[in-house]
Amino acid sequence: MQQPADDPSDESDLSSGLLVMLGPVLVLLVLTSVPALLAGLMGWHSAEMLVIAAGIGALALLCAVLTAVLVYRQTSMRLAADRALRSAEARVRGILDSAMDAIIAIDASQRVVLYNAAAEKVFQWPREAVLGQSLDRLLPERFRGGHARHIGQFGATGVTSRRMGDATVLVGLRANGEEFPIEASISHHLEGGQQLFTVILRDITERRRAEQMLARSEARLRGILDSAMDAIITVDDEQHIVLFNAAAEVVFGCPRREAMGAPLDWFIPERFRGAHAGYMRGFGAVDTQTRRMGAQRVVTGLRRNGEEFPIDASISQITEGDRRFYTVILRDITERVKALDALSHSREQLREFAAAASSIREQEKSRIARELHDELAQALTALKMDLAWLDERMPAGQEALVAKVSAMQTMLDGTVAATRRISADLRPLMLDDLGLLPAVEWLVQNFSERTGIACDLSIETPDLELGEPYATAVFRILQESLTNAARHAQASLVEVSLAGSAREVLLKVRDNGRGFVTDDPRKPNSYGLLGLRERAYLLDGEVRIDSERGRGTAIEVRIPLAETAQALAQEDAEVKQ
């Protein structure tokens, strides 16, 4: 163990004690040596007396030297102590003046005896104007009496230090008359029999202003949160609720006082709690600050009465110190889900109605086309044969009658051709009699003959066979695409590709025409592209149109077959479960 250093005050006290002892001895030796010396000089036992006088003188000299050494040492120690004291005072003064908090000491009569540089800055009074003055100069008048009583009561207790103003904020007074809040602690001690009180205080104006701003900000935030239409819930890293706004109370049917501190599992159906905990752990492990929850499916909440309901939610995270908080903003979408279900049901009904109407329309076209072909065309053919018979038996010299019959034959040929064209436009009989591929080949050939536009046909699946309504839909979509190319594209070449599989049928139509901007608004009374999409939509298909000005137009149509559509619907149901 380290030995304590010698105390200089102990050595000074020892030196003072030795001086007190040696002083009388030195005087006694001097007084003794003088008579012995006189006796020796007078001849009275001169030799003995001189020896005695010499011995006593030597002893007195030794005492005198020792006394001088002790006096010198005591003086040196006193000077060293004075220097140490001044150094300590300088260090203390430096510490006091470098302190960031104001430090003021007063005596029992409330007079200031210490006033550091920080106090000058806080109270804006120079040190020389405050030292020796009453402390009341630094206190608002209404607090002076109470402060004096507090100091008196504190001095009468045995407590050496205490924080002032635990329950209330203390107030100081600057030189310009401005009052300001302070935080202070007080201590007292005795010095030279006099009681001194030391106050260490801090100007908390900025802190109070920050606290007030924070309180106002929190009040505004609370107002915003409670006026928000969406439920807002914040949980800590242990999934306990620390914020629960008014909308959350309404949505979950739970008062805030019950929800605060409760586990979030209260509001999650039991079958989803494990997955939710894993989701939260995964979200907390990434750097993403915000994310929408359940983007691919509907999230389910649980009211306090046990009712489950769909919600749309987004989550964010924030770290405060070593703790992490998660905030969820959610919306009860029960009515929206009901509306979407109703809309989906309505669309399904409309699609079924449109499909039925399209089927009826095609059946009616087929009936009319067949009647034109079977009845009108046959009647016209018979009439043409009758005119030919009449022309052969026309008597000679009836030029006017012959010319009339010839004109009738020409008109009849045109009528037969128009009848066949109208019948084919309504519905080509080969689509019903021979199937899709021959009907497509005829349509492409007829398009080239009528418009003069080259058309290349590529059938990638030669054995493709489609039943109704798929065959009619593909034929009509191709027919409409070729019609659009002839009317608007100003193309010189059209390429048609048709392929099929067990899952879907794929039709591609590309031209080298002028193209158009796909985002442009649709022209009035222009239903060509809309008709394409509608026919594909009726069969759960999709149409993709790519076009740019000067680069032509490409149309791609995919129509899933019935077995594929059923399989996809079953997969979607499994995913939702």
How high is the pLDDT of residue 528? Answer: 62
Contact at 8 Å (CB) between 353 and 396?
Answer: no
Residue 36, token pair as written in the block: 């012995």
Contact at 8 Å (CB) between 325 and 317?
Answer: yes
* pLDDT category of residue 123 using cuts at 50, 70 and 90: very high
DSSP letters spanning 222-258: HHHHHH-SSEEEEE-TTSBEEEE-HHHHHHHT--HHH
Query: 349 or 139, which is more confident?
Result: 139
Q: Read off the pLDDT of each residue in 310-323 and give the average, rounded to a whole number.
A: 85
Write out the E strands in 262-361: 290-293, 299-302, 308-320, 323-332
18 Cβ contact partners less than 8 Å away, ≥ 6 residues apart: 70
Contact at 8 Å (CB) between 76 and 166?
Answer: no
CB atoms within 10 A of CB 77: 15
Does the reported pTM lie above 0.85? no
Residue 163, token pair as written in the block: 């924080």
How high is the pLDDT of residue 572? Answer: 45
CA 281, CA 568: separation in Å to the nearest integer?
A: 32
CA distances from 41 to 36, 52, 157 (A): 9, 12, 75
Q: Which residue has the tokens 């979030």?
A: 264
Confidence check: pLDDT of 308 > 60 = yes
Q: Which helix (H) or strand (E) element contains residue 547?
A: strand 542-547
Lowest mean pLDDT among 8-12, 86-90, 204-208, 419-423: 8-12
CA 312, CA 291: separation in Å to the nearest integer?
A: 12
| 382-415 confidence digits (pLDDT tens) | 887 887 887 777 777 777 887 888 888 888 888 8
Confidence check: pLDDT of 176 > 90 = yes
Residues paired with 291 in a beta bridge? 315
Write out the E strands in 63-178: 102-107, 112-115, 161-164, 170-173
* pLDDT category of residue 569 using cuts at 50, 70 and 90: very low
* pLDDT category of residue 564 using cuts at 50, 70 and 90: very low
The amino acid present at 245, given as its one-letter code, is N
CB atoms within 10 A of CB 186: 22
Confidence check: pLDDT of 192 > 60 = yes
| 75-111 confidence digits (pLDDT tens) | 777 777 777 767 766 666 677 777 888 999 998 888 9
Q: Read off the pLDDT of each residue in 354-375 and give the average, rounded to a whole number.
A: 70
Q: Which helix (H) or strand (E) element contains residue 555?
A: strand 553-560
Residue 407, SS3 per DSSP: helix
| 2-58 confidence digits (pLDDT tens) | 444 445 555 555 555 555 555 565 565 555 555 655 555 565 555 565 566 566 666
| 480-500 confidence digits (pLDDT tens) | 888 888 888 888 899 999 998
Contact at 8 Å (CB) between 123 and 174?
Answer: yes
Query: 344 or 257, which is more confident?
Result: 257
Residue 170, SS3 per DSSP: strand
* pLDDT category of residue 178 using cuts at 50, 70 and 90: very high
* pLDDT category of residue 148 using cuts at 50, 70 and 90: confident
Confidence check: pLDDT of 253 > 90 = yes
Contact at 8 Å (CB) between 50 and 40?
Answer: yes
**Quick one: angle between helices 470-484 and 528-538, nearest 10?**
170
CA 53, CA 40: separation in Å to the nearest integer?
A: 8
Q: Which residue has the tokens 């027919």?
A: 479
Q: Read off the pLDDT of each residue in 323-343 and give the average, rounded to a whole number.
A: 88
Q: Which residue has the tokens 């304590």?
A: 4
How high is the pLDDT of residue 38? Answer: 59
Torsion angles phi and psi, residue 458, rounded to 5: -125, 115
CA 130, CA 142: separation in Å to the nearest integer?
A: 20
CA 168, CA 181: separation in Å to the nearest integer?
A: 10
Q: Where are the alpha helices (DSSP H) in 285-398?
A: 334-371, 377-392
* pLDDT category of residue 577 using cuts at 50, 70 and 90: very low
Q: What percent of the chain is modeled with pLDDT above 90?
A: 17
CB burial readout 416-436, b (16+ within 10 A) else e: beebbeebbebbbbbbeeeeb
CB atoms within 10 A of CB 372: 21
Confidence check: pLDDT of 126 > 80 = yes
CA 39, CA 49: separation in Å to the nearest integer?
A: 6
* pLDDT category of residue 244 using cuts at 50, 70 and 90: very high
CA 101, CA 202: separation in Å to the nearest integer?
A: 5
Closest CA to 511 of 477, 453, 452, 552: 552
CA distances from 96 to 42, 86, 172 (A): 73, 15, 20
